[in-house]
Chain A
């Protein structure tokens, strides 16, 4: 992890953190400085190895998850470690994703877990979910960590890299539509 930090106002940002921001966010948040920040961060560059997390989908059946955003529905999440995003809503939730998650990953890179994504927005939920997934995708790409999102099956319609779903009333767990294992209630 690069130790070079860029100070803007009251906050310090690593080059990896700056690279998480989209051009629109840089313009909207930092104004003219935003584009310069991106150039500085790109100049320093970020080279990181992939973090792979293992999640247990059925007793004795684990699946390694590399970088990317994965939807998990209908399977209790069994994961060792991981950064759990607190149950925040709306702007607070998005601010946490953009500022606090990257800062935490600057210290320790690990899987990021967002529970019940579809319950995080009290207004404009579709735009909110789409935007949150966009931010999470950027975090995963820059920091090379897996991101795990839980929520209703209807979330599968959004852009995920992987979908792990156990349909209601079914014992089978599907990974990207292919049967992976059979889940039995313990």
Chain B
């Protein structure tokens, strides 16, 4: 079972290495291990639905309606992908200059005061 999941994950990563992977990684990391509601994913309902559909197509998340809210949580495969993302981040090491330059850049562009 584990081998099948790892093989599946491997083909998933290879298939999307050239196109779409940064988008998938970004949104999956945003949803995180604990999951989020559609509104928390994006206040734009159409955008949130597109993101969830994209991730669900790859079997990374599942959505469940609870009352008026829709909760989106990572599947087992999604959790493995999150593990992989964290391992890759720890391998590449953190760059202390990125948050410093990001903050300056956001102020410069006018995205932050």
Interface residues of A (CB under 8 A from B): 8-11, 23-25, 27-32, 34-35, 38-39, 90-91, 94-95, 98-99, 124, 127-128, 131
If A11-B109, A29-B109, A35-B22 touch, whether A127 touches B96 (CB-CB below 8 Å) is: yes
Interface residues of B (CB under 8 A from A): 22-23, 25-26, 42, 95-102, 104-106, 108-111
> Shortest CB–CB separation between residue B49 and chain A, in angstroms?
15
If A35-B23, A131-B95 touch, whether A91 touches B104 (CB-CB below 8 Å) is: yes
Say what secondary structure dominates the interface of chain B: helix
> Shortest CB–CB separation between residue B79 and chain A, in angstroms?
21
If A35-B22, A35-B26, A127-B95 touch, whether A94 touches B111 (CB-CB below 8 Å) is: no
* Complex-state Cα separation, A35 to B96, whole angstroms: 22
- A-side contacts of B42, CB under 8 Å: 32
B105 touches A127 (CB 8 A): no
If A38-B22, A91-B101, A98-B105 touch, whether A30 touches B95 (CB-CB below 8 Å) is: no
User: Can you sample 8 A-B contacts with CB below 8 Å?
Assistant: A8-B109, A32-B42, A91-B100, A94-B100, A95-B104, A124-B96, A127-B95, A131-B98
- A-side contacts of B102, CB under 8 Å: 25, 28-29
- B-side contacts of A95, CB under 8 Å: 101, 104-105, 108
A27 touches B105 (CB 8 A): no
* Complex-state Cα separation, A18 to B100, whole angstroms: 19
* Complex-state Cα separation, A38 to B101, whole angstroms: 19
B109 touches A10 (CB 8 A): yes
* Complex-state Cα separation, A27 to B98, whole angstroms: 11
Known: A91-B100, A91-B104, A127-B97. 7 other contacts (CB 8 A): A8-B109, A23-B25, A29-B102, A39-B23, A91-B101, A95-B101, A128-B97
Q: Return the chain B residue nearest A21 by Cβ.
A: B105
* Complex-state Cα separation, A91 to B101, whole angstroms: 6
* Complex-state Cα separation, A161 to B95, whole angstroms: 22
B97 touches A131 (CB 8 A): yes
Checking B99, B101, B110 against A98 with a beta-carbon cut-off of 8 angstroms, the contacting residue is B101
* Complex-state Cα separation, A23 to B110, whole angstroms: 20
- A-side contacts of B106, CB under 8 Å: 29
A23 touches B97 (CB 8 A): no
* Complex-state Cα separation, A131 to B102, whole angstroms: 13
- A-side contacts of B108, CB under 8 Å: 10-11, 95, 99
> Shortest CB–CB separation between residue A41 and chain B, in angstroms?
13
